[in-house]
């Protein structure tokens, strides 16, 4: 088969749309024909002719895959892949790839995680809002102020992003425990301040802060449900910069409203953007941001380069990296 050259770049509007896609298209070698859209089925002819689909948080469904008979590769411009029907792609022998090994998002997501943790510990949002209203809130806020130093940070998912978070935790004098399918090498644990691998339920019981960095799969959807949230200390904080559906959002709102948790910092929601009915928008002691982890100017350049390099390598005959759905077909 001739090396595939038709590339469909699908950039969701809430992460830049056509403007961002136009910049991404300029990174490809001249022999690639790149079509930029904001929805996967926006241009049926381009989808039908596509050999490669690059998607930036735009859904790629089983129907989309069935409508692309020439498709040989789906490249996610992200660490996550929950917006692609991986099972349908596997059935069609179409590999789905992420940018996982590039670490393109790790720095900024780790920084955003700590921005949320610090905002919660120092009560920055209520302090700011009070001062704007000419309210010297120090006496009221003082009993809620706390430090990161000496606290235990529980990291759920110690991949590249989780490790960057752990590195920063050590700098803040925090102890690190982590949960995941596999224990990392002992030398990695040592570099992360003696991080300890523990079962998830134990992590929830002992942590002062819980930070989620796991992929969203059938197994991890609502990983933090009501029973697991009930394991947390009433003084604990939950931070999620991974995927909104890792948490049962209603259960989290219940816990916050009842005072069973000290607070939550959320950069991700289910769905995105969140609907006005989302109770977490009005829950007490939450700090919210609109999925800004991973979208700094520097990060977007690294993400685009990582996605394009993987696809360009595949077009040139190299095996693709970071496959999450199965082997690449012979060409």
For this structure, is 51 an active site residue? no
Greatest Cα-to-Cα distance within the chain, rounded to the nearest angstrom: 72
Instruction: Match 């241009």 to its residue by tokens.
Output: 43
Question: Which residues make Cβ contacts (< 8 Å) with residue 184, sequence separation at least 6?
Answer: 158, 163, 178, 195, 197
Cis peptide bond upstream of 271, omega within 30: yes
Per-residue confidence (pLDDT) for residue 327, from 0 to 100: 56
Per-residue confidence (pLDDT) for residue 3, from 0 to 100: 59
Per-residue confidence (pLDDT) for residue 294, from 0 to 100: 81
Sheet holding 73-76, edge to edge: 33-37, 6-11, 52-56, 73-76, 96-97
Dihedral, 131, 133, 135, 138 alpha carbons, nearest 10: -30
Per-residue confidence (pLDDT) for residue 2, from 0 to 100: 54
Per-residue confidence (pLDDT) for residue 234, from 0 to 100: 98
Which one from 72, 79, 243, 302 is the annotated catalytic residue?
Answer: 243
Dihedral, 245, 216, 199, 289 alpha carbons, nearest 10: -50
CATH label, 106-288, candidates 3.30.1490.20, 3.30.450.20, 3.40.50.720, 3.40.50.11540 = 3.40.50.720
Per-residue confidence (pLDDT) for residue 152, from 0 to 100: 98
Per-residue confidence (pLDDT) for residue 331, from 0 to 100: 42
Which one from 39, 291, 298, 321 is the annotated catalytic residue?
Answer: 291
Dihedral, 201, 205, 206, 207 alpha carbons, nearest 10: 90
For this structure, is 64 an active site residue? no
Local confidence pLDDT in tens for the 331 residues of the chain: 455 689 999 999 988 899 988 888 899 877 789 999 999 999 999 999 999 999 999 999 999 999 999 999 999 999 889 999 999 999 999 999 999 899 898 999 999 999 999 999 999 999 999 999 999 999 999 999 999 999 999 999 999 999 999 999 999 999 999 999 999 999 999 999 999 999 999 999 999 999 999 999 999 999 999 999 999 999 999 999 999 999 999 999 999 999 999 999 999 999 998 999 999 999 999 999 999 998 888 888 899 999 999 999 998 899 999 999 865 544 4
Compute CA distances 253 → 188, 196, 263, whole Å: 35, 29, 10
Domain boundaries, the chain: 6-103+296-315, 106-288
pTM (2 decimals)? 0.85
Which one from 272, 279, 298, 321 is the annotated catalytic residue?
Answer: 272
If one counts every other C-beta atom within 10 angstroms of the C-beta of residue 136, the result is: 10
Per-residue confidence (pLDDT) for residue 4, from 0 to 100: 63
> What are the backbone angles phi and psi of residue 219, rounded to the nearest 5°?
-75, -25
Fold classification of 6-103+296-315 is Rossmann fold (3.40.50)
For this structure, is 243 an active site residue? yes
């Amino acid at each position: 088969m001739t090396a595939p050259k038709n590339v469909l770049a699908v950039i969701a509007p809430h992460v830049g749309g056509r403007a961002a896609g136009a910049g991404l298209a300029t990174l490809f070698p001249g022999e690639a024909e790149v079509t930029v859209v904001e929805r996967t089925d926006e241009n049926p002819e381009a989808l039908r002719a596509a050999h490669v689909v690059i998607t930036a948080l735009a859904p790629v469904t089983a129907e989309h895959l069935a409508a692309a008979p020439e498709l040989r590769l789906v490249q996610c411009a992200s660490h996550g892949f929950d917006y692609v029907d991986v099972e349908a792609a596997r059935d069609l022998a179409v590999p789905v790839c992420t940018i996982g090994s590039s670490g393109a998002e790790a720095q900024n997501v780790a920084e955003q995680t700590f921005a949320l943790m610090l905002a919660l510990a120092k009560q920055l949002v209520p302090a700011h809002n009070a001062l704007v209203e000419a309210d010297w809130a120090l006496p009221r806020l003082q009993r809620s102020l706390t430090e990161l130093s000496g606290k235990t940070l529980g990291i759920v998912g110690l991949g590249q992003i989780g490790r960057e978070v752990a590195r920063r935790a050590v700098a803040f004098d925090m102890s690190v425990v982590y949960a995941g399918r596999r224990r990392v090498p002992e030398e990695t644990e040592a570099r992360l301040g003696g991080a300890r691998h523990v079962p998830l339920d134990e992590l929830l019981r002992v942590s002062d802060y819980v930070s989620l960095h796991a992929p969203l799969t059938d197994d991890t959807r609502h990983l933090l449900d009501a029973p697991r949230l009930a394991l947390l200390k009433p003084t604990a904080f939950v931070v999620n910069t991974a995927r909104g559906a890792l948490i049962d959002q209603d259960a989290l709102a219940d816990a916050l409203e009842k005072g069973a948790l000290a607070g939550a910092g959320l950069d991700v929601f289910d769905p995105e953007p969140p609907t006005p009915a989302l109770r977490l928008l009005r829950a007490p002691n939450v700090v919210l941001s609109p999925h800004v982890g991973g979208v700094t100017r520097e990060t977007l350049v690294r993400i685009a380069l990582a996605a394009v390099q993987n696809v360009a390598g595949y077009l040139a005959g190299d095996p693709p990296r970071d496959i999450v759905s199965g082997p690449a077909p012979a060409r």
